[in-house]
Amino acid sequence: MGRTGETFGASGWKLLLASAAAIALVVLGTTAHASVAAEAQFVLNTFSFLICGALVMWMCAGFTMLEAGSVRTKNASMICMKNIGLYSIAGLAYYVVGYNLMYVDVGQWVGSLQFLYGPSTDELKLLGGEEGAGAAVVEAGYSTMSDWFFQMVFVATTASIVSGTLAERVNLWSFFIFIAILTAIIYPVVGAWTWGGGWLDQLGFKDFAGSTIVHSTGGWAALAGAIIVGPRLGKFRQDGTTKPTPPSNIPAVTLGVFILWLGWFGFNGGSQLALASTIDAVAMSIVFANTNLAAAAGVVAAIIVSRPILGRVDLLAVLNGAIAGLVSITAAPDIVEHYWAVVIGGVGGVVVVGGIKVMEICKVDDVVGAVPAHLFAGIWGTIAVCIAGGGNLGAQLAGIAAVGVFVMAVSAVLWLVLKNTMGARVSSEVESLGQDAAELGIEAYPEFMLMPDQDDLDALRQDA
């Protein structure tokens, strides 16, 4: 007993001395402690931008799978070419001029027309070995190029929307030129009005992660292209009916939707723009949960309404229901009441199925249903901010209208110029043969036998 008591006494003195030392460090080293905390915040915020940006970049793989599976086998390779091309063009265009137009010295309408973008002066000094620059770098809150990367992958998403709508007939080089202008000028101008602090932001327009800024912008650009480029050959019969063009690979389409669903957590979650505090972590968790709930509700709603609207339980419409739910919640995924995410996503599922039918009635050929999923659902999601996200209806409607008129008008003019110069679509011979063989010289599935068109078979039998 006595030996145990002596050991306990020594331990007690040691504990007391350690506690005193800790208190002294806290009192005397407050400045140093704050410096470490600030640097940790910088690292966490930068890490959030980079990881969430990588998730959004992965959405390009989702769009590629969705589109390649939706088209006929004779055009699947071209879809792969267009998607790797548009991502690369978007990244270069946004680096050369787009980011500056969107975020640098923005006034009412647009930012700075200067070329190239890079690390801040303080970051360059720090990399050059000037330790004193570290405090100024940390004070910024995040790495300059982590923010650029996160913003860049958003513009690539906008470009991907156009690709799916115009599949199987758009001229490759005309498409690439359009994408370059869309990502260098059109999208950055819309972004300057809103996220850049321009006139729509000052009006009170709210769009947390881009239902209008990203998705409706891409949808308007795609709609203009679909109208001016025109439908695929034979898509609409002379009697006014629509000829089915079954997808070549349903599993690929489904995989693409799941990849997009995964990437959307970075899309919406990263738009919290910070992960360096308890409140940011809680808010990001809410965004993740709402994003998932809205997508699930969009799927279930599309399953329920597809038979009454389309005459069948349409798998492609159901898959688009997930995308529409995601697009719809993107304007306000930070709402605290999760049941609103279910409602908003569910309505989005109904909107996309109805939109697919409307597009058929209007004879606008959208191969993957991108316009209903991104434009129509984007409009709904932007209005839905007024229900639960604290948005002002007037400001939201003004934003929808302004973005719609600007993007549709500029895109239409650009498509018309391309149509009347280098041609906006491929020749009928190339379209009939398929862009894979005619333009790329490589088939996506060379070991598969291409089945003849059912309408052509029926006509042949009638002639016989």
As a whole number, the mean pLDDT across the chain is: 89
pLDDT at residue number 6? 38
- Give the pLDDT of residue 37: 87
Say if residue 36's pLDDT is above 80.
Answer: no
Average pLDDT over every residue of 33-37? 54
Residue 15 has pLDDT above 60, yes or no: no
| pTM value > 0.75 | yes
**Complete DSSP assignment for 109-160:** S-----------HHHHHHHTT-GGGHHHHHHTSS-HHHHHHHHHHHHHHHHH
Q: Is 355 exposed, middle or buried (0-12, 13-18, 19+ CB in 10 A)?
A: buried
Mean pLDDT score, 260-269: 96
Cα–chain-centroid distance for residue 333?
Answer: 14
pLDDT of residue 112: 86
- Rounded distance between C-alpha atoms, residue 226 and residue 177, angstroms: 16
Helix (H, G, I), strand (E, B) or coil at 375: helix
pLDDT value at 278 more than 50: yes
pLDDT of residue 451: 59
Q: Which residue has the higher pLDDT, 403 or 123?
A: 403
Please give the pLDDT value at position 446.
81
pLDDT of residue 155: 94
* pLDDT at res. 2: 40
For residue range 137-155, what is the model confidence (pLDDT) as tens digits? 898 899 999 999 999 999 9
Confidence category of residue 25, pLDDT binned at 50, 70, 90 = very low
**Chain Cα centroid distance, residue 38:** 31
Read out DSSP for 63-107?
HHHHHHHHS-GGGHHHHHHHHHHHHHHHHHHIIIIIHHHHHSS--
Q: What is the pLDDT of residue 237?
A: 84
Q: What DSSP state is assigned to residue 208?
A: S
pLDDT band per the 50, 70, 90 thresholds, residue 44:
very high
What is the structure's pLDDT at 238?
Answer: 81
Contact 387, 396 (CB under 8 A): no
Contact in structure between 216 and 382 (CB atoms under 8 Å) = yes
Question: Per-residue pLDDT tens for 186-208?
Answer: 999 999 999 999 999 999 999 99
pLDDT of 416 reads 97
- Using 50, 70 and 90 to split pLDDT, how confident is the model at 33? very low
Residue 325 confidence (pLDDT) above 70: yes
Residue 3 pLDDT > 50: no
pLDDT band for 452, please (50, 70, 90 cuts).
Answer: low
Kindly state the DSSP code that residue 74 receives in the 8-state scheme.
G
pLDDT at 387: 86
pLDDT average, residue stretch 344-362: 95
Q: How far apart are CA 315 and CA 294, in angstroms?
A: 18
More confident residue, 442 or 282: 282
Per-residue pLDDT for 264 more than 90? yes
Q: Tell me how far CA of residue 138 lies from CA of 52, 125, 168, in angstroms.
A: 20, 13, 49
List, in order of start, the domains of the chain with CATH numbers: 36-455 (1.10.3430.10)
- Per-residue pLDDT at 28 exceeds 60: no
In the structure, what pLDDT confidence band is assigned to residue 245 with cuts at 50, 70 and 90? Answer: confident
The phi, psi pair for 170, rounded to 5°, reads: -80, 145
